[in-house]
Amino acid sequence: MSFAGKKAAVDALVDVNLTIPENCFISIIGRSGCGKSTLLRIISNLIPPTKGEVHIHGLPSAAYQRRKRFGFVFQEASLFAWKTVYQNVELPLEIMGLGSAAQRREKVLDLLHLVRLDGFADHYPAQLSGGMRQRVAIARALSYEPDILLMDEPFGALDDFTRREMHDELIRIWNARGLTVVFVTHSLSEALYLSDRIVVMAPRPGRVKSIVPVLRPRISDPTLRATPDYIHQLQELEALIHEQ
């Protein structure tokens, strides 16, 4: 991907060759400006790459998108302040005209249950904590049943305790829904705790530096964070990201 710059073109991504298995939880890490968000935008067909292509289940991304939507969650929950939790989650379904009001209601309540917000349907975003707002954003992203959930630093604005809680929630949701998750972060420990596989990117030009398999079971278990294996792998990642 190259963007036209004032003087010269900016190579945001060069030679990216990446295969993401179905049902995988993959994290993309790297410092600011190495093309992580650009890569998510290209995967989800928000911007066309200047060269190359993305295939999903054998279809070009644009064709895939006509069949199935991508779920997207950003750093800011970007909820509508004047709509309730219920209305925020229902909105995409309403816009796409999916289901009757009764069917939508069943789905929205089911999603609120999934993200453990039963009883908060009538609250407004301002009445919720940051973690709860991100749960609403996740419920909304799942409302049209995507197979693929793209997350761009979704927990970046949360405090450490809430962030860890959200990690366990996300692993649970990922398993419950059989999703493929592409998760952008610049936190190594976050990537390590969540992922099956970590794509390490480097800047100028943005490129994939290495792909690291994670040696851990797919469960949420906070005690893992203190095991020698986990700490060892974190150190290895640390070294990898600092050597340029």
Ligand X SMILES: Nc1ncnc2c1ncn2[C@@H]1O[C@H](COP(=O)(O)OP(=O)(O)O)[C@@H](O)[C@H]1O
Binding region for ligand X (CB under 6 A): 3, 10, 12, 30, 32-38, 206
Which residues, including other chains, have CB under 8 Å from residue 225's CB and lie 6 or more apart? 189, 193
Task: Give the dihedral sign, CA 164/166/167/171.
Answer: positive
Which residue, 3 or 82, is less far from ligand X as judged by CB?
3
**Alpha-carbon gap, residue 158 to 160, rounded angstroms:** 6
Say which entry of Mg ion, ligand X, none residue 12 contacts (CB below 5 to 8 A, set by partner kind).
ligand X
Which residue, 37 or 88, is less far from ligand X as judged by CB?
37
CB of 34 to ligand X, least distance (A): 4
CB of 35 to ligand X, least distance (A): 4
CB of 208 to ligand X, least distance (A): 12
Query: CA geometry: angle at 59 spanning 56 and 62, to 5°?
Result: 90
Say which entry of ligand X, Mg ion, none residue 10 contacts (CB below 5 to 8 A, set by partner kind).
ligand X
112-120's contacts with Cβ under 8 Å and 24+ in sequence apart are 112/85, 112/86, 112/139, 114/139, 114/142, 114/173, 114/176, 114/177, 115/139, 115/169, 115/173, 116/169, 117/85, 120/85
Q: Among the candidate windows 36-44, 121-129, 168-176, 220-228, which touches Mg ion by CB under 5 A?
A: 36-44
Which residue, 7 or 66, is less far from ligand X as judged by CB?
7
**Alpha-carbon gap, residue 158 to 165, rounded angstroms:** 10
CB of 29 to ligand X, least distance (A): 9
CB of 31 to ligand X, least distance (A): 7
Spatial contact of 26 and 213, defined as CB atoms under 8 Å apart: no
Which residue, 68 or 204, is less far from ligand X as judged by CB?
204
Q: Which of 28, 29, 34, 37 binds Mg ion (CB under 5 A)?
A: 37
Residue 44 near Mg ion by CB under 5 A: no
Which residue, 131 or 206, is less far from ligand X as judged by CB?
206
Query: CA geometry: angle at 169 spanning 148 and 132, to 5°?
Result: 100
Which residue, 99 or 203, is less far from ligand X as judged by CB?
203
CB of 152 to Mg ion, least distance (A): 6
**What pairs with residue 201 in β-bridges?**
208
Binding site for Mg ion (CB under 5 A): 37
